[in-house]
Amino acid sequence: MADVLVGFKWVLDEADVRIDDDLSVDFSKAKRKISDYDKNAIETGRRIAEQMQGNAVGVSCGPDETRKGFVDALARGLDEGVWVKTAELASAQVAARAIAHVARQRDAALVICSEGSSDDYARQTGSRVGALLDWPVATSVNVVEIEEDAVVVHRRMEGCEQVVRMALPAVVSVLPEADPAPIPGLKAVLAAKKKPVDELSAEELGVDETAGSTLKNMSGYANDRKNVLIEGDSAADSVQKLIEALKKEGVL
């Protein structure tokens, strides 16, 4: 029975993040959730695993608080979970190492990630996993289907769409529109608490927790606006004044 792995990240809810007057970022009241884009990836993984008559396995890595995310992930249709425990919230580099190790360990047929997480949207994890496993990778995917021993994807590109067929095993990074994420009901949430979650340490898997990059600072920014109000006796007059204002600013 084939395993379809789905990577997901336990992130701060961006709706709770505040920018103070001095442009410092206040995370003190921010709760955590599964990245919104990862919820779409979970739905894609659930659907594809069902087509393949396999298991949909959620993989996430991070400290103790990450464990809470598995109830929501499993309530969304995943069959089981793998929590790779790390000292800190894993970077894309560390997360990719963890997912790749789990994929090898479970002889997975397919790894699905979102195009990027809703906190930093680095858009790295899927490609890094593919590189570590030496598997074919497709990014910017909005359609995923299985055909025998291959996965067929539609890639949304600038000005066109590509249809790509990749032999399995493979890695796919999906866009949010690939599979809209439904909200799990109470029955699904209760059932999720009984589903298995395999807990592994990064050390057990041989995952190097050293990140290649470190976030040194984060701050908000202010947009300076001209606040120019265009008024005219007619639409044509207003348009002419707008054109003149844009020319004055060097835009036209």
Q: Is residue 213 part of a domain?
A: no
Q: Specify the pairing of strand 32-34 against strand 10-12.
A: antiparallel
Q: What CATH number did the domain enclosing 27 receive?
A: 3.40.50.620
Query: In the prediction, which pLDDT does 25 show?
Result: 84
Domain carrying residue 230: 224-252
Q: Is residue 211 part of a domain?
A: no
Q: Is residue 115 part of a domain?
A: yes
Are 159 and 229 contained in the same domain?
no
Are 28 and 118 contained in the same domain?
yes
CA distance 60 to 64: 11
pLDDT tens digits for 13-62?
Answer: 888 888 888 888 887 888 889 999 999 999 999 999 999 999 999 999 99
Q: Is residue 120 part of a domain?
A: yes
Are 194 and 229 contained in the same domain?
no
CA distance 12 to 113: 18
Are 160 and 240 contained in the same domain?
no
Are 199 and 252 contained in the same domain?
no
Residues in CB range of 213: below 8 A, 6 or more apart: 91, 93
Q: Is residue 218 part of a domain?
A: no
The more confident residue out of 6 and 222 is 6
Are 66 and 173 contained in the same domain?
yes
Are 82 and 117 contained in the same domain?
yes
CA distance 95 to 62: 9
Q: Is residue 210 part of a domain?
A: no
> Which residue's entry shows tokens 């858009």?
123
Are 246 and 159 contained in the same domain?
no
Closest CA to 153 of 133, 168, 134, 172: 172
Coil, strand or helix: which one is 144?
strand
Q: Is residue 48 part of a domain?
A: yes
Are 148 and 30 contained in the same domain?
yes
Query: In the prediction, which pLDDT does 1 show?
Result: 66
Q: Is residue 92 part of a domain?
A: yes
Neighbours of 167 (CB within 10 A): 11
CA distance 104 to 93: 17
Are 228 and 200 contained in the same domain?
no
Are 161 and 64 contained in the same domain?
yes
Q: How many domains does the chain have?
A: 2
CA distance 149 to 167: 6
pLDDT tens digits for 173-219?
Answer: 999 999 999 999 999 999 999 999 999 998 888 888 887 777 788 88
Are 250 and 156 contained in the same domain?
no
Task: With beta carbons less than 8 A apart as the criterion, state whether 7 and 38 touch.
Answer: yes
pLDDT tens digits for 215-237?
Answer: 788 888 777 777 778 888 888 88
